[in-house]
Amino acid sequence: MSMPSIDALTTASPARAVPLPAPSRPLKAGMLLGSVAPTAGGVAACVQALGLALQAPALSHHVEIFSLADHDGSLDLSGWGALDVKLSRTTGPRGFGYARGLSTAMAAADLDVLHVHGLWMYPSVAARRWGAARHAPYVVSPHGMLDPWALANSGWKKEIATRLYERAHLTHAACIHALCDPELEAIRAFGLRNPVCVIRNGVSPLTGDAVARPAWRVALPADARVLLFLGRLTPKKGLTNLIRAWSAFKQRAGTRASAWHLALAGWGADSYVAGLRSLAANLALGASVHFIGPQHDAAKEATFDASDAFILPSVSEGLPMAILEAWQHGLPVLMTPQCNLPEGVSHGAAVAVMPDVDSLTASLADLAAWPPTRLAAMGNAGRALVAQHFSWPAVAQEFSAVYQWICRGGDRPDCIDVW
């Protein structure tokens, strides 16, 4: 099947205006994203948690999930609970994700509001068409994809996409969602003048299903100390510099470094992961750098529990779920300012590190010198910070207020920035 032209994709058929939803009834909200697979990373996890919180009795909105079917057919959707997940098969280039049935599925759902998660793919086109056809509002969460580093990565492709469909998609959004003030600045720098709601991510309660000790940890010495990275293995995470810094740390920190191991949990493009493995091997780090693969659900909880500290040396982020999860598990955190969680430093739950090799090396040496009392105090501060400020029910309340405002009017929510 051939794909229609971009002009055909972005031109909506005329349709009647949809009446405003009655103030007395919950809203019907759709969540649109490129993938619900675990390998989609934090975006899929955020959509799942937000959808469940919006549909919980406290708010009682009806939520439907619309996603591209980019998996091999073995995807387990049990974690999505009562959420109705509709998958649309894709054709054509995988990176664009054209799905002929996506617009039909969204139109049939009779939604009041649509919330789009992510940019640069066919869902951006489908959302714009949906909004124009129904005269209904949609919200866009870029999830850090408008940050300068992210825009520069494959920049020529994104420039083409911007001109063909992405700017129209963003410009016509009733509201754009920023995870933090730096993302708000990036949205404004992109030239967007829409209302922007600034709402943080939440973190889901622990399930308590974690196994006692994961297999990768059993293979290490009993007295090993573990510094964990967990997430997608991509260039923006700063892993090449981290591995180089780990080598320098091992050479310079002497006996303090001997007990420490670096566990890299996650997935990524085969060529990139192979390059990281090759770098670690060339630096003779095979005994202390461990690629432990993707960790999900109970295995992820067990991996956090089996670690002593967490690091995220990213050069670009939205608001990383992995740090919130590390704090939830009581781990002290090393993170770059680009992780956009400065309250972690001010509350004593994290220390700021720079993503260059020399700075990372120094920070690793500092970590190895910290007494157990400091590690424990940082872990306790992280638990308290998450419990007080990062609950999904509170996040859902804020999004509910935004949805109500763009659908029904009334007072502007406090989280909204107006140009």
pLDDT score recorded for residue 24: 60
Q: Do both 198 and 223 map to the same domain?
A: no
* Domain that residue 312 falls in: 215-389
Is 161 within a domain? yes
155 shares its domain with 47 = yes
Query: Is the pLDDT at 55 greater than 50, yes or no?
Result: yes
Q: What is the pLDDT of residue 10?
A: 45
> Is pLDDT above 50 for 6?
no
Q: How confident is the model at residue 18 (pLDDT cuts 50, 70, 90)?
A: low
11 pLDDT band (50/70/90 cuts)? very low
- Residue 208 falls inside a structural domain: no
198 & 228 share domain: no
- Find the CATH number of the domain harbouring 289: 3.40.50.2000
| 263 and 309 housed in the same domain | yes
- What's the pLDDT band for 14 if we cut at 50, 70, 90? very low
In a domain, 210, yes or no: no
The reply to whether 134 and 282 lie within a common domain is no
Domain count, the chain: 2
pLDDT at 217 over 60: yes
3-state secondary structure the chain: CCCCCHHHHHCCCCCCCCCCCCCCCCCEEEEEECCCCHHHCHHHHHHHHHHHHHHCCCCCCEEEEEEEECCCCCCCCHHHCCCEEEEEECECCCCCCECCCHHHHHHHCCCCEEEEECCCCHHHHHHHHHHHHHCCCEEEECCCCCCHHHHHCCHHHHHHHHHHHHHHHHHCCCEEEECCHHHHHHHHHCCCCCCEEECCCCECCCCCCCCCCCHHHHCCCCCCEEEEEECCCCHHHCHHHHHHHHHHHHHHCCHHHHCEEEEEECCCCHHHHHHHHHHHHHCCCCCCEEECCCCCHHHHHHHHHCCCEEEECCCCCCCCHHHHHHHHCCCCEEECHHHCCHHHHHCCCEEECCCCHHHHHHHHHHHHHCCHHHHHHHHHHHHHHHHHHCEHHHHHHHHHHHHHHHHHCCCCCCCEECC
Q: How distant is the alpha carbon of residue 64 from its chain centre? A: 19
Please report whether residue 378 resides in a domain. yes
Do 186 and 308 belong together in one domain?
A: no
What is the C-alpha to C-alpha distance for residues 281 and 271, in angstroms, rounded to an integer?
15
Rounded to an integer, the average pLDDT of 248-269 is 93
Mean pLDDT of 283-306: 93
78: its two tokens = 């049990």
Whether the per-residue pLDDT at 76 is higher than 90: the answer is: no
Residue 101 maps to a domain: yes
Here the tokens at position 390 are: 């990062």
- What is the distance between the alpha carbons of residues 414 and 416, in angstroms, rounded to a whole number? 6
Q: Are residues 259 and 359 in the same domain?
A: yes
**pLDDT band, residue 22 (cuts 50/70/90):** low
pLDDT score of 297 more than 50: yes
Give the residue carrying structure tokens 């969540």. 31
276 band by pLDDT with thresholds 50, 70 and 90: very high
Give yes or no for residue 2 having a pLDDT over 90. Answer: no
Quick one: what percent of the chain has pLDDT higher than 70? Answer: 92
Distance CA 62, CA 59 (A): 9
Same-domain pairing of 60 and 170? yes
Q: How many C-beta atoms surround the C-beta of residue 352 within 10 A?
A: 16
Span 364-402, pLDDT tens digits: 999 999 999 999 999 999 999 999 899 899 999 999 999
Query: Does position 266 have pLDDT exceeding 90, yes or no?
Result: yes
Q: What pLDDT does residue 230 have?
A: 97
* Confidence bin at 309 (pLDDT 50/70/90): very high
Q: Same domain, yes or no, for 255 and 187?
A: no
| Average pLDDT score over residue span 3-28 | 55
Q: Is residue 16 over pLDDT 50?
A: no
Q: Are residues 130 and 150 in the same domain?
A: yes
Q: Sheet containing 309-312: give its strands across.
A: 289-291, 260-265, 225-230, 309-312, 333-335, 350-352
Tokens standing for residue 397:
């309340």
367 falls within a domain: yes
Q: Please say if the pLDDT value at position 296 is more than 50.
A: yes
- 403 and 368, same domain (yes or no): no
Q: Which range has the top average pLDDT, 2-11, 88-97, 237-246?
A: 237-246
- % of the chain residues with pLDDT over 90: 79
* Domain co-membership, 249 together with 189: no
∠ CA 356-144-381, nearest 5°, is 70
| Domain assignment of residue 207, yes or no | no
pLDDT at 45: 87
pLDDT at 274 over 60: yes
Lowest mean pLDDT among 14-18, 107-111, 193-197: 14-18
Dump pLDDT digits (tens) for 142-157. 999 999 999 998 999 9
In a domain, 133, yes or no: yes
pLDDT band at 207 (very low <50, low <70, confident <90, very high): confident
Residue-level pLDDT at 210? 56
